[in-house]
């Protein structure tokens, strides 16, 4: 059961655009690619968690709020039950995970390389305090760390918090339902409304200026690095036989994410490598975007899009 759909993180949408527009020979390319990989894995873990609820059955009334964000906190999910609230921190990392409750150290070892990471135990401690405060300290609040990568091996030392693989979460929730059975009941929709009143809309990702020239052109979605040319109302790939009418939309999404949210006819032609002004006018008109200015100062307002979202 979901209250709101989990959105792809804005930083991931931005990084994908940056990767597509960074030349593969540029020194920054590998770093951007690695960041895209990490954020994609994190988001995949969250969607596996979301899917778990399709199989979870309980007599208890409950709701799940994915990606709960306030001005100061970002929580992967909140599960609101009538007698307790569970805050979930989702980790999609492979390898050997070591958590030490005394030193507060959290490390991941993969291919003989160990790295220290932000301790989810400490993150949850902060989140628990926030949710207790928002609910006036009336209802028990329990943070749970959930690992979604089935290949990760968990080694816990003196950790008091519940830390489980995703497959074990239904068992832990049933245990909590049992444990809190004699506690007073609260109205679940009312609790959710209270929490949602503090939820912030997702902020656009603020990036620094990009210190190198971006690749221009409209790329083929079938063989992603090839450029397309526009003729007779269609974008045509020079490499494969792919033809698309709206291939410019992804270029416009990239423009919005990397350069600016409005575009003129001239900027559009430069970014898409299109020579014909009249074709550009035709395409931009067909987009039905809102505009500002008139004639030579006319600018098109590019709306927010997430066209690389393969889950849709």
Report the residue number, 70 or 226, with the smaller CB distance to Zn ion. 226
- 93 near 149, Cβ under 8 Å? yes
> Shortest distance, CB of residue 241 to Zn ion, whole angstroms?
8
For residue 219, count other CB atoms closer than 10 A to its CB: 20
What is the rounded CA–CA span in Å between residue 206 and residue 41? 21
Site residues for Zn ion, 180-209, by CB under 5 A, read none
237 interacts with Zn ion by CB under 5 A: yes
Tell the residue number behind the tokens 């074709």, with chain if given.
279
Report the residue number, 79 or 237, with the smaller CB distance to Zn ion. 237
Report the residue number, 4 or 240, with the smaller CB distance to Zn ion. 240
250 interacts with Zn ion by CB under 5 A: no
Report the residue number, 222 or 259, with the smaller CB distance to Zn ion. 222
Report the residue number, 134 or 249, with the smaller CB distance to Zn ion. 249
239 interacts with Zn ion by CB under 5 A: yes
Of 254, 234, 231, which Cα lies nearest the Cα of 244?
234
Site residues for Zn ion, 256-295, by CB under 5 A, read none
Report the residue number, 237 or 250, with the smaller CB distance to Zn ion. 237
Beta bridge partners of 107: 98, 116
Among 69, 222, 281, 287, binds Zn ion (CB under 5 A): 222
Among 38, 199, 215, 242, binds Zn ion (CB under 5 A): 242
Question: How many helices (H) and strands (E) are present in the chain, helices listed first?
Answer: 8, 15
- Give the Å distances, CA to CA, from 184 to 21, 79, 172: 55, 17, 20
Among 223, 246, 285, 304, binds Zn ion (CB under 5 A): 223
Beta strand 74-81 pairing with 85-91: antiparallel
40 interacts with Zn ion by CB under 5 A: no
Cα within 13 Å of Cα(281), Cβ side? 6
Report the residue number, 265 or 272, with the smaller CB distance to Zn ion. 272
Among 10, 38, 135, 226, binds Zn ion (CB under 5 A): 226
Tell the residue number behind the tokens 């990397």, with chain if given.
258
What is the rounded CA–CA span in Å between residue 237 and residue 241? 6
> Shortest distance, CB of residue 220 to Zn ion, whole angstroms?
3
Backbone angles phi, psi at 63, to 5 degrees: -140, 150
Among 12, 17, 18, 220, binds Zn ion (CB under 5 A): 220
For residue 262, give the 3-state DSSP assignment.
strand
Contacts of 290 (CB under 8 A, 6+ apart): 300, 301
Stretch that binds Zn ion, among 54-62, 130-138, 145-153, 230-238 (CB under 5 A): 230-238
Among 240, 266, 282, 290, binds Zn ion (CB under 5 A): 240
Q: Which residues are at the interface with Zn ion (CB under 5 A)?
A: 220, 222-223, 226, 237, 239-240, 242
């Amino acid at each position: 059961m979901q209250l709101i759909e989990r959105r792809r993180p804005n930083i991931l949408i931005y990084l994908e655009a940056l990767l597509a527009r960074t030349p593969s020979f540029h020194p920054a390319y590998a770093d951007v690619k690695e960041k895209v990989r990490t954020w994609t894995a994190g988001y995949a873990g969250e969607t596996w968690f979301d899917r778990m609820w399709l199989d979870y059955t309980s007599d208890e009334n409950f709701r799940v709020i994915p990606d709960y964000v306030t001005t100061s906190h970002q929580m992967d999910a909140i599960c609101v039950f009538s007698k307790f609230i569970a805050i979930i921190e989702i980790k999609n990392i492979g390898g050997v995970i070591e958590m030490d409750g005394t030193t507060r150290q959290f490390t991941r070892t993969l291919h003989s390389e160990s790295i220290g990471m932000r301790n989810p135990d400490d993150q949850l401690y902060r989140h628990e305090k926030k949710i207790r405060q928002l609910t006036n300290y009336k209802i028990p609040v329990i943070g749970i760390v959930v690992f979604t990568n089935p290949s990760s091996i968990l080694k816990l030392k003196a950790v008091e918090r519940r830390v489980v693989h995703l497959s074990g979460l239904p068992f832990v929730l049933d245990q909590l339902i049992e444990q809190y059975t004699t506690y007073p009941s609260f109205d679940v929709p009312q609790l959710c409304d209270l929490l949602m009143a503090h939820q912030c809309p997702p902020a656009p990702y603020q990036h620094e200026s990009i210190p190198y020239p971006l690749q221009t052109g409209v790329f083929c979605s079938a063989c992603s690095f090839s450029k397309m040319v526009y003729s007779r109302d269609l974008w045509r790939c020079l490499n494969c036989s792919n033809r698309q009418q709206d291939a410019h939309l992804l270029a416009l999404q990239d423009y919005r994410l990397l350069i600016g949210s409005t575009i003129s006819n001239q900027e559009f032609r430069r970014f898409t490598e299109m020579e014909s002004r009249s074709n550009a006018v035709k395409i931009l008109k067909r987009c039905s975007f809102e505009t500002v200015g008139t004639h030579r100062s006319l600018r098109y307002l590019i709306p927010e899009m997430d066209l690389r979202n393969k889950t849709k």
